[in-house]
Amino acid sequence: MRTPCAPAGILVLVRGRRDLCHGHCRTAPQRPPIRRRSRTTRLTPLSAGTGRGDRRRLTPEAGSQPSAGGIRCAASPCRTGRTPDMSTRTPMMDKNIFAFIVRHSKKEQALITAVTFVSFPMLYSILMIPKEIINLLQVDPSEQREIFGTSLDTLEYMLALCGVFLALILANGLLKMGLNTLKGRVGERLVWRLRHRLLQRLLRFPLGHFQDVSQGELSSSVVAEVDPLASFFGEAIAQPLFQVGTMATVLVFMFMQDPLLGGACVAIVPVQAYIVPKLQYQVKLLGKERVQRARKLAEAIGETTETIREIRTNGTQDVILAMLSDHLARIFRIRLSIYKKKYFVKFLNNTLNQITPFLFYSVGGYLVLAGDLTLGALVAAIAAHKEFVAPWKELLVYYQNGVDSQIKYAQVVEHYSPRGLLEPAPDVAPHPDDLRGPITLEGVTWSNEYGDRIIDHVSLTIDRGTFVGISGTNPLGLRRLAELLVGLEAPDGGRVTIAGHTLSAMPPTFVGRRIAYAGPEPKLVAGTIMQNVTYGLRHLRPDGSRETAAQKKPSRVETSGSTGDEPVRIDDPLIDVQSVGAESWNDLADWWIQCLKVLGDDTSTYREGLRQTFDPAHYPHFAAPLLRARFRLHRKLRQAGLTGTIAWFRRSVFDDHAPLYETLLFGLPAGGALTLDTMAEHPALAAVLDRHGLRAPAIALGHQMAEHLINTYRTDPDESRIVRHPHLTEAKYRALHRAVVEADPRFMTGRPRDASSTARFIEVFLWIVPARDSGVTITEDLRRRILAAQAEILDHPPEGLRGAIVHFQARRYHPRLSVVENLLFGRLTSEEPRVIKTLKSLIDEALREEHAHTIVMFLLTLSPVGVGGSRLTVLMKQKLQYLRALMKRPDIIVCHQALDALERSDRAAIFAKTRRLLPATTLIVLEQWLPDEAAFDTVATLRKGRLVLENSAADADLSETMPMRGGAKRDDDAQRAVALTPLFADLPRQTRLRIAADAEWRTVSPGEFVFRAGEAAEYVFILVEGQAEQVLWRQTETPIHVAYMFPPQTVGETEVLAGTRRFSGVRAVTGLRVLRVNGAVLSRLASANPSLALRALQNAANRLASELPKTSARAPEARDRRAG
């Protein structure tokens, strides 16, 4: 069953700007209404005897309601309503390319082989007929032959043979064309299947692997490296069969003519078969060595660019240049060897191929002269030898391509088989109806690649619907804990269960729908704001709602069947409104507005939506209710007696409150050749001005107005100019100033110095608003001329203006006007605050009465976010990410530093509104410093990888230090320090190793400075051991405390990224052991990884925020406030 289509004006933003709901809203089991319940919780140990003293759970106080929504998978049917088939898994990747080809294209390869064998009799006939034709030239022309009951003389028989020969050539050519097309088709389908399998594995990569490989490397593997395999996939089996069969057919034909000719033909083949492949293999090895050397050269160049400062300061330019020259010399020698061997192989192969014709001419000529061989047989043998050489060359090429393809295939498969590859989820896995149950972590442990336990045997239980805050000074630990809670990371030990169901055993798609995660670095998909807001509701159709094969397009059925994969179409994603308890898009729009209110953005979104423009041709369902709202607003204005506050758009009426170009055009430029910036120079419009005598007055008044503007805004700030004359940009203001200065003194007679000045003054004239610009006077005669020109443009538009203007029409929505301008359909005649306030109120009433209020808010969501959200600010991206999480109406929300751009009080208010909106949802907030105002049920702290209750006795011995193994090498210590530092922890492993290799160890005694204010910012320091203090200090001043710093924090990164001197100093409180990293390395990494700069700013902000005053008894007060 499907829900009805969305009502007019409700947009389904899935595939583009014109995607309106057409009945694709899927009906699913509606979620029961969420009932709010009040409870307080406390952190208490689990029952004794568990064997883990630090295992804790969040349990409700007495009198609270029991948790609902437990697991019913084992005792009751699953959501799917049928027994799950756990055997359905994504197939393993074949290691051998031929195994992959045979497994997935047996039928197609068999068909290709059958067609190949059909071509051999044709080939034999094509070789035999020329012999018969040549032999006919030596017999009596009058000799008669009986062919299928018809008597033919020699000439007629020869012509018949020629006709058959031509027919066989055409048939053979068509057969080869069809065969090659079939091979190409099979090859492309196998490439499609291979890429599909690789992308399936890409979605199952462990998160840590994405840090070790670049996006370009992964994309090139799927696109560039797989693409050359298409040709080999299609011909892997048929090509050798076809070429060997062709050679065998030719040999049979030759031996049938004379055994000596057949022996001469195959005499050289064993030599070629033994020598040529070996030499080609050597060339291939040299090619691999050349690639390796080229990679080393690229690595050396990269290292040179990163250490250019050290090269110059140590004077090692000549040494570095010599090393690079050595790489170049090695590559030159390898390439020279390749050329020598390649052309020697070519020479040898060509020479051996020419020996056989020598034997034909010598031995065959002797046999013809001796009468033992006919001339036709010799000529046919020579022609057949050409057919024998071509397939032999093709076999050699096939051998070379086969080796290359096997290597490329193995490399791609290996590249997409990383360690820790997640197990594929079964197609139909058992899962509960929801995740409304307790979250349990049982001895969960997570370690980095050096064995340091970032999460150390964490055991706790969080009951359903609780509000939990987890803080910690190690952002890396908070990040990993958040990822473990939502299933992004798999624990090294222990397990995570939700409602009694193991998290890793549930289908990822189900987990993603029921758990929402908001992280510190929001990622947005390319598209509109609404596409990102509803991203969590985009689901594929269930199996039962797919079209049958008869309803699908033939190409769809054919394509899906040929690969053996389940067909997944681009139009399958839909917005699953039922998953959030909505019945239609109207309900979903209401839910979206409720979520907006949580962020406090509903009013600003509505006001901004009133200023948006859109094309009604693209969104006709938006225009209709807005037009109805226009008429309703006009009725309200007449009832309120405010019709005089708006000058309506009316034909043949001069409007003093509209720009002159609006009156002249009675509309707005449609874009293209005629725009607001180019209308002064448009030839058709200039001709209209000339015909009505408007050119000279336009230049004169434009010059007068230009002088007025220059004199007015010469000393006024730019903001004043922008408010009153928004069209007058800085560039236009300067151009206008130049035109006024360069104007001829005789300008008042209408003769300016040049055409550019004329165009500037005409443009200023067209922008004049008579009621606003009192510095110029529009006479009655000029008004009549403007209206006459308007009549010509409307009734008899010139050729250049036809279709270039969108005219005002009372019953049509204007695409160049904003929403509020379309509603007013005129210009305001008063700027009195009371009138403006009344108009706003009437506009709001008209929109709500026509149910168009939501449409106005939706208009803002039509704006594109750019690639990765590049068009949005950090704050907007964070809010959009949190809004996306709320829109799913999840059972669990994990918020990990997702709203850092907001003040603490604002974050606390958002969390409180989230609790009121979703009282049954478990909300877990992980931040370095939790907002004091938030009414958390329980607050825990992550210290040294373990969760402890705030202000408990366990705090005394869990000071945060960077774990180091005794006796470890300094290089290992540096690598581990970089890996533990939040600033660098998410970088690829090779990048971290390079940072550690270039870093230097430093020790700082208590009271000494790591760096002082005013020094050049050349290095970044990683605190490894000890405690430091950031101070504002100059030699003549008393040091002012700013913040304390502990391992594994970094210091000094903000000045390095800003390129400024140190604005503060850092001194050691205790003995410090620090790792000094070159600042140039950080600058280069930040340019390639924008998120790195964001993390640096977040670290600095969190360090300063840690010194803000805190409420001493926050948790009890929070509980009291909530209880009250």
| pLDDT tens readout for residues 717-727 | 554 555 566 67
| pLDDT tens readout for residues 665-714 | 999 998 877 888 888 888 888 899 999 999 888 888 888 888 877 777 66
Per-residue confidence (pLDDT) for residue 787, from 0 to 100: 93
For tokens 């969080």, the residue is 462
Average per-residue pLDDT for the chain: 75
First CA to last CA distance, the chain: 46
Could you count the other beta carbons within 10 Å of the beta carbon of residue 883? 19
pLDDT classification of 1114: cutoffs 50, 70, 90: very low
List C-alpha distances in Å: 356 to 271, 351, 369: 13, 10, 19
Q: How many angstroms separate the CA atoms of 407 and 64, rounded?
A: 64
Query: Taking 70 as the threshold, does the pLDDT of residue 195 lie above it?
Result: yes
Bridge-based pairing of strands 1072-1078 and 1000-1004 is antiparallel
Using alpha carbons, select from 79, 68, 71, 73 the residue that is nearest to residue 921. 68
Per-residue confidence (pLDDT) for residue 892, from 0 to 100: 93
Contacts of 55 (CB under 8 A, 6+ apart): 45, 46, 442, 443, 459, 460
Task: Name the token pair of 1056.
Answer: 């390095």
Task: Name the token pair of 953.
Answer: 């006795």
Query: Taking 60 as the threshold, does the pLDDT of residue 76 lie above it?
Result: no
Q: How many angstroms separate the CA atoms of 396 and 247, rounded?
A: 13
Per-residue confidence (pLDDT) for residue 25, from 0 to 100: 41
Task: Name the token pair of 246.
Answer: 């062709």
What is the per-residue burial (b if ≥16 Cβ within 10 Å, else e) of 119-154? beebbbebbbbbbebbebeeeeeeeeeeeeeeebeb
pLDDT classification of 752: cutoffs 50, 70, 90: very low
Per-residue confidence (pLDDT) for residue 430, from 0 to 100: 61
Per-residue confidence (pLDDT) for residue 506, from 0 to 100: 84
Helices 1079-1088 and 989-998, interaxial angle, to 10°?
160
Q: How many angstroms separate the CA atoms of 48 and 56, rounded?
A: 11
Query: Taking 70 as the threshold, does the pLDDT of residue 564 lie above it?
Result: no
For tokens 């293999």, the residue is 281
Task: Name the token pair of 705.
Answer: 């107005």
Inter-residue contact 584 to 25 (CB < 8 Å): yes
Bridge-based pairing of strands 467-471 and 938-943 is parallel
Q: When comparing pLDDT for 155 and 517, which is higher?
A: 517
Inter-residue contact 505 to 511 (CB < 8 Å): no
Per-residue confidence (pLDDT) for residue 992, from 0 to 100: 79
Cis amide bond preceding 121, omega within 30: no
Q: How many angstroms separate the CA atoms of 1 and 1000, rounded?
A: 67
Per-residue confidence (pLDDT) for residue 629, from 0 to 100: 93
Q: Best-predicted range by mean pLDDT among 254-268, 878-892, 1075-1089?
A: 878-892
Average pLDDT of the segment spanning 909-936: 88
Inter-residue contact 356 to 385 (CB < 8 Å): yes
Query: Taking 50 as the threshold, does the pLDDT of residue 1009 lie above it?
Result: yes
| pLDDT tens readout for residues 436-479 | 889 988 889 988 777 778 888 888 888 888 999 998 878 888 88
Per-residue confidence (pLDDT) for residue 822, from 0 to 100: 92
pLDDT classification of 886: cutoffs 50, 70, 90: very high
| pLDDT tens readout for residues 471-501 | 887 888 888 899 899 888 888 888 899 988 8
List C-alpha distances in Å: 460 to 34, 443, 1029, 1077, 1115: 26, 8, 35, 38, 19
Inter-residue contact 585 to 25 (CB < 8 Å): yes
Using alpha carbons, select from 291, 880, 989, 1046 the residue that is nearest to residue 536. 880
List C-alpha distances in Å: 790 to 135, 571, 659, 768: 91, 47, 13, 16
Average pLDDT of the segment spanning 1026-1042: 77
Using alpha carbons, select from 723, 728, 681 the residue that is nearest to residue 709. 728
pLDDT classification of 790: cutoffs 50, 70, 90: very high
640: DSSP letter: H
Q: Cα 788–791–797 angle (5° rounding)? A: 120
List C-alpha distances in Å: 758 to 668, 674, 697, 849, 947: 22, 18, 12, 50, 75
Element (H, E) at 914: helix 904-917
503: DSSP letter: G
Q: What amino acid occupies position 679?
A: M
956: DSSP letter: T
Per-residue confidence (pLDDT) for residue 1036, from 0 to 100: 56
Q: What amino acid occupies position 657?
A: H
Task: Name the token pair of 1050.
Answer: 């970094």
957: DSSP letter: T
Q: How many angstroms separate the CA atoms of 440 and 495, rounded?
A: 8
Query: Taking 80 as the threshold, does the pLDDT of residue 19 lie above it?
Result: no
Average pLDDT of the segment spanning 504-517: 86
Q: Best-predicted range by mean pLDDT among 209-223, 606-620, 1034-1048?
A: 606-620
Per-residue confidence (pLDDT) for residue 922, from 0 to 100: 92
Inter-residue contact 469 to 927 (CB < 8 Å): yes
Inter-residue contact 771 to 829 (CB < 8 Å): yes
The DSSP string of 614-625 is --TTT-HHHHHH
Average pLDDT of the segment spanning 254-272: 70
Average pLDDT of the segment spanning 366-380: 72
% of the chain at pLDDT higher than 70: 76
Average pLDDT of the segment spanning 754-772: 83
The DSSP string of 459-494 is EEEE-TT-EEEEE-S-HHHHHHHHHHHHTSS--SEE
Query: Taking 60 as the threshold, does the pLDDT of residue 1113 lie above it?
Result: no
Helices 259-266 and 238-257, interaxial angle, to 10°?
140
**What are the beta bridge partners of residue 26?**
2
Judged on CB neighbours under 10 Å (0-12, 13-18, 19+), 25 is buried
Average pLDDT of the segment spanning 323-343: 86
Inter-residue contact 843 to 646 (CB < 8 Å): no
Query: Taking 80 as the threshold, does the pLDDT of residue 593 lie above it?
Result: yes
Average pLDDT of the segment spanning 149-164: 81
Q: How many angstroms separate the CA atoms of 1091 and 522, rounded?
A: 10
Could you count the other beta carbons within 10 Å of the beta carbon of residue 81? 6
Per-residue confidence (pLDDT) for residue 812, from 0 to 100: 92
Using alpha carbons, select from 307, 214, 483 the residue that is nearest to residue 1089. 214
Q: What amino acid occupies position 80?
A: T
Using alpha carbons, select from 983, 994, 999 the residue that is nearest to residue 1098. 983
Q: Best-predicted range by mean pLDDT among 387-391, 568-572, 696-700?
A: 696-700
Using alpha carbons, select from 461, 614, 410, 542 the residue that is nearest to residue 26. 542
Average pLDDT of the segment spanning 1089-1093: 74
Query: Taking 50 as the threshold, does the pLDDT of residue 965 lie above it?
Result: no
Domains by residue range for the chain, with CATH: 1-30+526-543+569-644+851-867 (no CATH), 91-258+373-423 (1.20.1560.10), 439-524+872-879+888-952 (3.40.50.300), 650-707+723-807 (no CATH), 970-1105 (2.60.120.10)
Query: Taking 90 as the threshold, does the pLDDT of residue 788 lie above it?
Result: yes
Inter-residue contact 670 to 816 (CB < 8 Å): yes
Task: Name the token pair of 560.
Answer: 């899906």
pLDDT classification of 627: cutoffs 50, 70, 90: very high
Average pLDDT of the segment spanning 987-999: 77
Range of weakest confidence among 386-395, 396-405, 757-766, 1115-1124: 1115-1124
Per-residue confidence (pLDDT) for residue 215, from 0 to 100: 64
% of the chain at pLDDT higher than 90: 9
Q: When comparing pLDDT for 801 and 564, which is higher?
A: 801
The residue count of the chain comes to 1124
Contacts of 315 (CB under 8 A, 6+ apart): none
List C-alpha distances in Å: 358 to 264, 370, 446, 654, 987: 9, 18, 75, 99, 67
The dihedral over CA atoms of 540, 543, 548, 553, expressed in degrees to the nearest 10, equals 20
The DSSP string of 1002-1067 is EEE-TT-EEE-TTS---EEEEEEES-EEEEE--TTS--EEEEEE-TT-EESHHHHHHT---SSEEE
Q: How many angstroms separate the CA atoms of 864 and 16, rounded?
A: 11
pTM of the shown model: 0.63
pLDDT classification of 294: cutoffs 50, 70, 90: confident
Per-residue confidence (pLDDT) for residue 72, from 0 to 100: 29
Query: Taking 80 as the threshold, does the pLDDT of residue 988 lie above it?
Result: no
Contacts of 619 (CB under 8 A, 6+ apart): 11, 17, 18, 20
